[in-house]
Chains A and B, each alone.
Chain A
Amino acid sequence: MSADALAAPYPDTAGHFGRFGGRFVPEALVAALDELDGAWRTAMADESFRGEFAALLRDYAGTPSLLYPAERLSAKLGARVLLKREDLNHTGAHKVRNVLGQALLTKRMGKRRVIAETGAGQHGVASATAAALFDLECVVYMGEVDTERQALNVARMRMLGATVVPVTTGSRTLKDAMNEAMRDWVANVDETHYLIGTAAGPHPFPAMVRDFVRGIGDEARQQCLDQIGRLPDAVAACVGGGSNALGIFHAFVGDADVRLYGFEAGGDGVETGKHAASITGGSTGVLHGTRTYVLQDADGQTVESHSISAGLDYPGVGPEHAWLHDSGRATYTPVTDTEAMAAFELLCRTEGIIPAIESAHALAGAVQIAPKLAAELGREPVILINLSGRGDKDVHTAGEYFGILDKEQ
């Protein structure tokens, strides 16, 4: 990891990405956020922290992840497709990078307890993993509806020693789990770190999480240069809260010729209202401590999101994406459940890789942009796709979707 993260122009010192970001939190949390901000900046400037983090990423998480030239998929798309294989990381997704960074910081701040929110359970499992590794107490808030849908991940977290608290308020899903984690944090902030799972929430979380996952893009950029001698024409990633997308985008923001594409969860279609596309189908608002694009009604009440992908099923998005969208540097487009599942099947059958349904949204997006890019460039485009997670957790959902489960299963 390079030290130039802090030299980046955004966010400002108060966490603003243009008109987005900032801190919309109870005063009780400000001291802890300031403490975290200071600890993060100090750590990122400290050789020993960076060395420790780099060693963990290499020896424990298994990074740098491979950059794989997917030839059969390339032939189908009419594009040269490079897959950034974050699915091969320990715990099965890019998220391990973020939790290892935050767990290291928790230790440095002298805190002994971490709390986390989780939707599908992936961030909860990653948090429980890091907590076990660092001998931290871990409490994971999970919507009651999700604990039922994702019983295996609940078991995984418990095996790793975490306490899973089902949240029974509101819509009983991810956003309510986040509310409950915030309430816990307000009450126990002295000894507790809130390990937020994505590049959202109050400052410094969006910038800090981005810095912990930016290795995805740093690695991929160098791998591209090494393997094909040039940069890609486009980078594609799925966007829920948006950490995997920022992780791969960040290294390319300054490369004006590299197009950045974020694919949001379009659910049944943005026009149906049943989706999780906060940028394409939402409006500016404040949610979970930050100003960003939010799914909300005319009175500013949060509207429930819908997606076949639990990891993208969130009614907000990290503020840096909102800013990248407004600035025109990145393009955000919705991908429906149907389109994502077609791409899911395509990758299974062409490359023998079962992707997370989240990542299948990035693949589906690449399917859509490939012919447009080819026409625009007058040649075969190079598309770098962040394969952010593996599909083991989604086998049941996908099995039901494709109708291939035997009845008793």
Chain B
Amino acid sequence: MSRIGVAFDKARADGRAVLVGCMPAGFPTVEGSIAAMTAMVEAGVDVIEVEIPYSDPVMDGPVIQKASDIALAGGVRTADALRIIEAVAATGAPVVTMTYWNPVERYGVDAFARDLAAAGGTGLITPDLIPDEAQEWLAASDAHGLDRTFLVSPSSTDQRLAMTVQHCRGFVYATAVMGVTGARARTSDAAPILVSRTREVTDLPVGVGLGVGTGAQAATVAGYADGVIVGSALVRCVLDAPDRAAGLTALRTLSAELADGVRNPTR
């Protein structure tokens, strides 16, 4: 079983959900992103999702777009992202990587899988790669023992849900709303339905992302999902902070609030 699977099993035994916190690699700097992700782990985030910044992130809302732009303008490269993954994995927290497909294809799919595994990454979340186009990634992830998280959506047909989860390993990412990343005022009505539809076709843990930003929302999602995935709200802590120390403080505070939320699921 993968390290992600272990984290989900442990949380399930404790009667809570796993908290996944996302941050773009190299935002605001390489060093700064390592510090941010380390702070998140210390404050109770179970799994770190490192997003590789990309010039054309169609699944991301304005907050992560801006953070990605800052990272890219700072010159962050795929090799830097791998170094960041290695540094964060050294904290002991499982590190999953989120990336649009072109940077992986450009790096070389097998070479990327090999280097990601060597850096201690557990696997990939692929927002614009569906299993239909993933033959090379299926082979490379098998060869290097990496997890594969494909997305399922409220618009997925039953047939596609079954096909998609069949190709997943580690956990399944359920997109709570029809839309892009970004904190929203209320959590989605579609998400619980999607999670139960997903559970009908797989025993893998199901994480829910898109639109979760507060402890209360995390508690609500923890009530029906195995994992709560938070990105934009955490990124905003750093983006809006007047200086690095204030950003890390805000990040710790929100991480702790979210960690508290996943431990007190609303049922």
Residues of A within 8 A of B (CB): 14, 22-32, 169-170, 175-176, 179, 182-183, 186-190, 284-289, 294, 296, 298-302
The 4 closest A-B pairs by CB, nearest first: A300-B106, A28-B153, A187-B179, A300-B103
B43-51, B58-66, B87-95, B249-257: which lies at the interface: B58-66
A302 and B69 alpha carbons, distance in the complex (Å):
12
User: What would 20 A/B residue contacts be, using CB atoms closer than 8 Å?
Assistant: A24-B128, A25-B128, A26-B128, A26-B151, A27-B153, A27-B156, A27-B164, A28-B151, A30-B130, A30-B160, A169-B62, A183-B59, A183-B180, A187-B179, A187-B180, A284-B105, A286-B101, A299-B77, A299-B78, A300-B78
User: How many Å lie between the Cα of A188 and that of B150 in the bound state?
Assistant: 21
Q: Which residue of A lies closest to B127 (CB)?
A: A26
Q: Does B14 contact A (CB under 8 A)?
A: no
CA of A299 to CA of B178, assembled, Å: 29
Would you call A179 and B160 a contact (CB within 8 A)?
Answer: no
Q: Is the CB of A299 within 8 A of B103?
A: yes
**B175 located at the interface, meaning its Cβ lies under 8 Å from any Cβ of chain A in the complex:** yes
The distance in angstroms between the C-alpha atoms of A286 and B69, with both chains bound, is 19
Contact A179–B153 (Cβ < 8 Å): no
User: CB distance B102 to A28 under 8 Å?
Assistant: no
- Asked if B106 and A287 make an inter-chain contact with CB atoms under 8 angstroms apart, the answer reads no
Q: Which residues does chain B contribute within 8 Å of A289, judged by CB atoms?
A: 128
B107 touches A300 (CB 8 A): yes
User: Distance (Å) between the CB of B22 and the closest chain A CB?
Assistant: 16
Residue of A nearest to B99 (CB): A300
Q: Does B157 contact A (CB under 8 A)?
A: yes
- Distance, CA A25 to CA B78, complexed state (A): 21
Q: Decide: A27 near B56, CB < 8 A? Known: A183-B180, A187-B178, A300-B103.
A: no
Whether the pair A27, B103 counts as a contact (CB closer than 8 A) is: no
Contact indicator A300/B102 (Cβ below 8 Å): yes
Find chain B residues with CB under 8 A from A190 CB: 178
Which one, A27, A30, A32, contacts B175 given CB within 8 A? A27
* A170 pairs with B69, CB closer than 8 A: yes
Q: Interface 1/0s, chain B 133-158, versus A by CB < 8 A?
A: 10000000000000000111111110
> Contacts A169-B65, A299-B77; is A189 near B178 (CB within 8 Å)?
yes
A183 CA / B128 CA spacing, docked (Å):
12
- Residue B203 interfacial (CB < 8 Å): no
Residues from 146 to 203 in B contacting A, C-beta threshold 8 Å? 150-157, 160, 164, 175, 177-180
Shortest A210–chain B CB gap in Å is 21
Quick check: A24 and B62 within 8 Å, CB to CB?
no
The answer to whether the Cβ of B72 comes within 8 Å of any Cβ in the partner chain is: yes
A296 touches B56 (CB 8 A): no
Known A-B contacts A294-B102, A300-B102; A179 and B78 likewise in contact (beta carbons under 8 Å): no
